[in-house]
Chain A
Amino acid sequence: MAELTYRQAIAAALAQEMARDERVVLLGEDVASGGVFKTTTGLRERFGPDRVWNTPISEQAIAGAAMGAAMAGLRPVAEIMFSDFYATCWDQVANEIPKVRYMTGGQLSMPLVLRGANGSGGLGFGSQHGQSVENWAMCVPGIKIASPATPAEAFGLLAAAIRDNDPVIVFEHKALYSRKEQCPDDEHVIPLGRAAVVRPGRDCTLVALSITVGICLAAADELATHGIEAEVIDLRTLVPLDAAAVLASVARTSRLVVVEENPGQLGWGASIAAIAAQEAFYDLTAPVIRISGGNVPLPVAASLEAEVDVSVPRVVAGVRALLGQLRQSTG
């Protein structure tokens, strides 16, 4: 076991996979100097300029070239510095990469990874550098989506993403980069599509992803002091989605609260809520509650950001209201 930060875990997973398969190459802005978030530290030195390529600030060319390289036999990992910038290469992300395999009748696969910094986490990055955008990608069949909540997950999910023969976007949470944790030493791969029950509980199910896993765990601690035992599920990936894990938990707890960082407007939590409505209706004893980021561009002022971001007090209040301890106000 080694103690790694989330950012070190990403660099370590990249190194592990590059050592294992020489078709794995990196490209992106500043990746050769270790990356602005220091997630590619040491890779250029270890694997050479032939496998770690700095690109100009050209997201369309980065995503497009990764795509062409994947067609021609490489397994590229492309860094998109901030996930907000997927909007600048949305054609590649929405129209090209996810559709190639299907449109070509299976002639071409897209074994590539797009990865980069996602999310708010109260860091004051503002409206164009602080969004959580997993839900953008989730609208597009053909892409897999992983959002690690811990250093060990960052390692294991990225390794799995690189080995996967389908395109995967790995959304790293920028507020977690300096989080530290013991990570397994050996080949550590977490299969895509397997959620984890990270805290068992009998009174309600909290479904979380990435940063909201920690928020829900902290909220569960506090809820315990009010006599509420919340079960926390870390989805880890949205596509494939481990709906079975959610449904099994709801069957035990009969209450479901979905906690997502992105704005609620068509957030991924809506899909979870819809699945529960269709498939767990008779297990539920209370309405499904969604707690999400505000339906506004992310403000910078700390007082405003705190108001719209998902937080421990909002989750605690939402769950207590659901269990009848408070008048309902989930925001």
Chain B
Amino acid sequence: MTDGLHTPADLYRRMRLIRGFEELALRLVKSGEIVGGIHPYIGEEAVAVGVCAALADHDLITSTHRGHGHVLAKGSDPSRMLAELAGRETGLNRGRGGSMHAADVAVGILGANAIVGAAAPIAVGAAWAAQRSGSGKVVATFFGDGGLNQGVLLEALNLAALWQLPVLFVCENNGYATTMPTATGVAGNAVGRAEAFGIPAVTVDGMDVEVVRDAAVLAADRARRAEGPALIEAMTYRFGPHHTMEFRIRLSYRTQEEIDEWRRRDPLDIQGGRIAAGQRARLDAEIAEILAEAERFALASPRPDPAGALDYLYASGMVARGGVA
């Protein structure tokens, strides 16, 4: 299990970290410290934390454009993650990746991916390597309901099923792909698509971290027993905008009533209700302190030296000719 995701309080604490991180990041987007904006994960915390609670430290994940939750759930340092969003040299990716590309190989994060659906075959390839080496590693790959409609995902499901690879396909069905309701974008459903490949699949309440965790444990155990891939569709909801651009460009595609309805099932409250009030307050205070430190660290960190703009492209150190080739 990822360090610190054992008890109900651990699960709550990690979700609280993600929620607080996103609130802080939103503030830094507004203040201009984070450029390019973010896709906030607020409302969906139970999915990332539930899945990562079923993974071992050495297991791998791939993430999405809405990836901060996955990265923090798998165990990245929030200070370095925030520094990455703020474009600092101390960021996870030395400021070269940003919000949609955070990677942290040391804790098994092969990277977020800004191309919808594109991480799935990468997870399949990593699982293929894991299977060959007998390492027993499992790879979880997150994608949205919108990702279901990328052909690459179907290619990846097929290959994972054919080769019986240890992949956990996690569909975060938050009801919308940007503004398009899932029902108008997905013919059939996620489970049916997986089952068409012979991949066992289940739909779960994505607002309850323990429910997600239990489903992920079953799937991960199967994968570890070399019984092949599985798909989990977690029904969830994003409380905030698709992207922070929505603060400036108003998009109308859902009602306030609908948002309020889902907010009544806030995953933090569901899990928070399982621990004592005093403990919850203590954990909240602890997280606030961690995030205050993350903000201090990120904003005090240096920006990358412009002289290094071409660094890290080629392992061989090759530098392409200026201007032409």
Contacts and interface: CB of A to CB of B under 8 A. Distances in A.
Interface of A: 25, 50, 53, 55-56, 58, 60-61, 63-74, 76, 91-92, 95-96, 100-111, 138, 141-142, 144, 164-166, 193, 238-241, 243, 268, 271, 274-275, 278
A308 B324 CA distance: 27
A64 B111 contact: no
B118 A68 contact: no
Nearest to A109: B315
Interface in B290-325: 311-316, 318, 320-321, 323-325
Given A61-B158, A101-B313, A104-B93, A66 B105 contact: no
B316 A96 contact: no
B96 A74 contact: no
A60 B155 contact: yes
Interface in B41-84: 60, 62
B167 to A, nearest CB: 10
A251 B15 CA distance: 66
Nearest to A54: B162
B40 interface: no
A305 B129 CA distance: 44
Given A65-B128, A101-B312, A103-B96, A166 B121 contact: no
A55 B320 CA distance: 34
27 contacts: A53-B128, A61-B152, A64-B124, A65-B125, A65-B128, A67-B121, A68-B126, A69-B125, A69-B129, A71-B129, A91-B152, A102-B312, A104-B97, A104-B103, A105-B93, A105-B96, A107-B105, A110-B315, A141-B313, A142-B313, A166-B314, A166-B318, A241-B325, A243-B321, A243-B325, A268-B325, A275-B325
B195 to A, nearest CB: 18
A76 B137 CA distance: 19
Given A68-B127, A278-B324, 14 more contacts: A58-B159, A60-B155, A61-B152, A69-B125, A73-B129, A74-B132, A91-B115, A104-B111, A105-B93, A106-B94, A111-B315, A166-B315, A193-B318, A239-B325
Interface in B137-193: 137, 139, 151-152, 155-156, 158-159, 162-163
A238 B262 CA distance: 55
Contacts, number: 172
B199 interface: no
Nearest to A23: B129
Contact of B316 (A67, A68, A164): A164
Contacts of B223: none
B156 A102 contact: no
Contacts of A106: 94, 311-312
A64 B118 contact: yes
A70 B111 CA distance: 13
B132 A165 contact: no
B122 interface: yes
A65 B124 contact: yes
B124 A68 contact: yes
B325 A50 contact: no
A65 B122 CA distance: 5
Contacts of A141: 313, 320
A268 B325 CA distance: 9
Nearest to B156: A61
A214 B231 CA distance: 53
B159 A72 contact: no
A61 B115 contact: no
Nearest to B125: A68
A103 B103 contact: yes
B102 to A, nearest CB: 9
Closest 3 CB pairs of A and B: A64-B121, A68-B125, A105-B94
